[in-house]
């Protein structure tokens, strides 16, 4: 079924380079603003709408694709597609002939590459490495993604005009390098099941994710976190926080996952991280100054990072290999859907509650996230029956 050959080094190297190249998604937004002189909401609204629509529509169909094909091939072609999308922009930007249509096509292509590669990496990892390495490898990739967000935030703006080669050509080259690295990964995979049509396969993946007790519990937690996490963030007008600590919180969470995963199973590690760190958001309700605000924001972020890594690792254990793409796509779609009312709720709270919201909302959000951890705790006692269908996995991690 799965060969003993586990070329972890080229796989991890390819995934890391691919993740770094995908930082270009943020760079494309900056190119919109700089090279098309866009500075108002109406100017960038098409970009926002395109990104949001793709985030809702792409994950599940791409999950079906990832479950149908060889994951290595999907990763190789994702690298090629990303290189073509970004590479086509370099001469256009340098010659001043870049257009909004060209940029939107490139953004759409990069988002397609991003979803395909994320789902493929998640689905291919169990074939490449053993269970004891799920958490460390996922933590490494999560840490790279978090570092990319840090670097993008620090460099947005000043790098675009003088260093267009940096923000477009270098990531394009990164996609090529990632494709070459993935070609070196030679690990057999589970054969793809007979095709039942896009709709039928998508429905099967969604149904499996929402009916499996532990996957359903993971979905509930992720939806609640996506909806409420913005309310746990620093309230408008609050005291200055120690920015470097807050920005490094996801990296701290990734390190904690690596250090703690051998002491407890992944699902338990996830809900423990949520239960221990979420209550620190209550510090926003007290006048504790910069230290209080920093801990109130940083610790829940670190706990959420630890939980995300642990839950992904657990999902890779309990999900049949040829359902991993659709399961991941379902969760990505649910998280994107939940983010919409989360943004609306945050905006309404800032507008109508004022100072009251600064202390009340983080407390309510923390309570909501803790409540969403209850299904995780309860599902940890789930034991599959002996008569489950063949592609239903055993619980545990």
Burial of 64 (0-12, 13-18, 19+ CB in 10 A): buried
Q: What is the pLDDT of residue 362?
A: 77
For the chain, what percentages of helix, strand and coil (3-state, to nearest 5) are there? Answer: 80, 0, 20
Place of tokens 């969760």: 331
8-183 to CATH, choices 1.10.8, 1.25.40, 1.10.3470, 1.20.1250: 1.20.1250
Q: How many CA atoms lie within 13 A of 263 on its CB side?
A: 8
- Dihedral angle at the C-alpha atoms of 369, 370, 372, 374, nearest 10 degrees? 170
Report the alpha-carbon distance of residue 312 to residue 349 in Å, rounded: 32
Percent of the chain with pLDDT over 90: 43
pLDDT digits (tens, 9 = 90+) for 137-169: 999 999 888 776 666 555 544 444 445 566 677
Q: Which of 85-94, 307-316, 318-327 shows the lowest per-residue confidence on average (mean pLDDT)?
A: 85-94
Whether residue 100 contacts residue 36, with contact meaning beta carbons closer than 8 Å, is answered with yes
Helix/strand/coil for 108: helix
Inter-residue contact 279 to 116 (CB < 8 Å): no
10 Å CB burial of residue 2 (0-12, 13-18, 19+) is middle
Confidence of residue 348 (pLDDT cuts 50, 70, 90): confident
Q: What confidence category does residue 93 fall into, taking pLDDT thresholds of 50, 70 and 90? A: confident
Q: How confident is the model at residue 239 (pLDDT cuts 50, 70, 90)?
A: low
What is the average per-residue pLDDT within 366-382? Answer: 90
Query: What is the residue extent of each domain of the chain?
Result: 8-183, 198-379
Q: Tell me which CATH homologous superfamily contains domain 198-379.
A: MFS general substrate transporter like domains (1.20.1250.20)
Residue 176: the pLDDT is 93
Minimal CA–CA distance to 326: which of 217, 209, 199? 209
Question: Is 8-183's fold the same as 198-379's?
Answer: yes
Decide: 23 and 110 in contact? Cβ < 8 Å: no
What is the mean predicted confidence (pLDDT) over 196-208?
Answer: 93
| pLDDT-based confidence at residue 391 (cuts at 50, 70, 90) | very low
Region 80-99: mean pLDDT is 83
Q: How far is CA 122 from CA 134, 148, 171, 312, in A?
A: 10, 19, 21, 8
Distances (CA, A) of 364 to 74, 222, 359: 42, 17, 9
Mean pLDDT of 295-304: 90
277-305 average pLDDT score:
84
Q: At 356, list the tokens.
A: 């009251």
The DSSP 8-state label assigned to residue 280 in this structure reads: G
Tell me if 266 sits within 8 A of 310, measured CB to CB. Answer: yes
First to last CA, the chain: 20
| Matching residue, tokens 């978090």 | 146
| Assigned token pair, 213 | 């007790």
Quote the pLDDT of residue 194.
Answer: 83
Q: Is the pLDDT of residue 256 over 70?
A: yes
Mean pLDDT of 53-59: 88
């Amino acid at each position: 079924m799965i060969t003993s050959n586990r070329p972890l080094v080229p796989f991890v190297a390819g995934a890391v380079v691919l993740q770094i190249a995908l930082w270009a998604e943020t760079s494309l937004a900056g190119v919109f603003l700089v090279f098309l002189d866009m500075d108002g909401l109406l100017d960038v609204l098409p970009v926002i709408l395109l990104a949001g629509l793709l985030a809702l529509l792409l994950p599940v169909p791409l999950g079906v694709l990832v479950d149908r094909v060889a994951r290595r091939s999907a990763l190789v072609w994702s690298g090629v597609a990303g290189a073509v999308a970004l590479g086509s922009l370099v001469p256009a930007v340098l010659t001043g002939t870049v257009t909004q249509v060209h940029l939107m096509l490139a953004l759409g292509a990069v988002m397609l590459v991003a979803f395909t590669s994320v789902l493929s990496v998640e689905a291919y990892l169990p074939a490449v490495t053993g269970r004891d390495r799920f958490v460390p490898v996922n933590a490494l990739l999560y840490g790279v993604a978090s570092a990319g967000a840090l670097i993008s935030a620090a460099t947005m703006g000043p790098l675009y005009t003088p260093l267009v080669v940096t923000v477009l050509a270098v990531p394009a080259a990164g996609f090529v390098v990632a494709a070459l690295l993935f070609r070196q990964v030679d690990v057999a995979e589970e054969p793809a099941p007979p095709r039942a049509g896009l709709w039928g396969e998508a429905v099967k993946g969604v149904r499996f994710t929402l009916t499996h007790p532990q996957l359903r519990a993971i979905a509930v937690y992720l939806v609640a976190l996506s909806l409420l996490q913005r309310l746990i963030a620093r309230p408008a007008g609050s005291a200055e926080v120690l920015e470097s600590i807050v920005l490094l919180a996801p990296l701290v969470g990734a390190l904690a996952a690596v250090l703690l995963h051998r002491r407890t199973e992944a699902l338990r590690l996830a809900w423990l991280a949520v239960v221990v760190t979420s209550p620190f958001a209550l510090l926003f309700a007290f006048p504790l100054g910069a230290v209080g605000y920093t801990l109130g924001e940083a610790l829940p972020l670190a706990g959420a990072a630890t939980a995300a890594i642990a839950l992904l690792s657990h999902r890779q254990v309990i999900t049949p290999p040829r359902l991993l793409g659709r399961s991941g796509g379902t969760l990505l779609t649910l998280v994107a859907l939940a983010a919409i009312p989360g943004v609306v709720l945050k905006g309404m709270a800032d507008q109508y509650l004022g100072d009251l919201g600064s202390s009340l909302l983080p407390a309510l959000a923390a309570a909501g996230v803790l409540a969403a951890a209850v299904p995780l705790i309860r599902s940890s006692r789930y034991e599959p029956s002996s008569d489950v269908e063949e592609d239903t996995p055993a619980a545990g991690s």
